[in-house]
Structure 1
């Protein structure tokens, strides 16, 4: 029988409820149950010049985030959000943990016309901004043809 995570600390069917009462340590932390988290929130906007993806990564250091372009026009945002763990003798322990930690990954298939060789990424205030420029729209060439006769 598996218990579904309900998200409430006061719900006896929630894994959070039983975690502190588990003397054998059978209830594992979220990072062990779900090794890759996909709950990174991303906004994707398209401008005339580029596709811009904004990913909320609070608590993630710039060196712990990765942006990669894979074959087939796939953009991957991944990384890891660390959680502070108590050390022996520190005198503290977690009472409630709601913020997710562990590895995360989101993948997006980019449309045709995206310039994958010119992808830029910047991170500020916990928001990762990935800019993928578009190819310049080709204007139809009109060539006048001389009419003989």
Structure 2
């Protein structure tokens, strides 16, 4: 999502703690979000009818736009949702001046 002041990346990561997720910023305007979700402990006496949780490693890489402030990226994990905030650089408006027309 893009707001007037920042780019926001959101990832639903239910069941993961912030220590299990890694956010890396790379030169070349790349952000990598990675982690691993392990299988729940199985009890030999339990009978599973259906398991709808994925497990294993995951990695998402995203190239950020030119106006991203790469040194000010922040990440917050709350209630299983990772939010990465990338502030935007101010876009300089062109310097416009009026020229007097002589006769």
Distance 1:107 1:94, change over 3 A: farther
1:99 is displaced (CA, Å) by 0.5
| Alignment coverage as a number of residue pairs | 101
> What's 1:106 paired with?
60
Between 1:57-66 and 1:92-101, the stretch displaced more is 92-101
Larger fraction in helix: 1
> What's 2:30 paired with?
74
Larger fraction in strand: 2
Unaligned runs of 5+ in 1: 1-44
Pair 1:64 & 2:20 matched: yes
- In terms of Rg, which structure is larger? 1
C-alpha RMSD of matched pairs (Å): 2.2
**Equivalent-residue separation in structure 1 for 2:78 and 2:11 (angstroms):** 11
**Equivalent-residue separation in structure 1 for 2:37 and 2:51 (angstroms):** 14
| Per-residue deviation, residues 18-55 of structure 1 (Å, max 9, x unmatched) | xxxxxxxxxxxxxxxxxxxxxxxxxxx01111100110
Pair 1:139 & 2:76 matched: no
> What's 1:83 paired with?
39
**Equivalent-residue separation in structure 2 for 1:94 and 1:54 (angstroms):** 35
Provide TM-score, normalisation by structure 1.
0.60
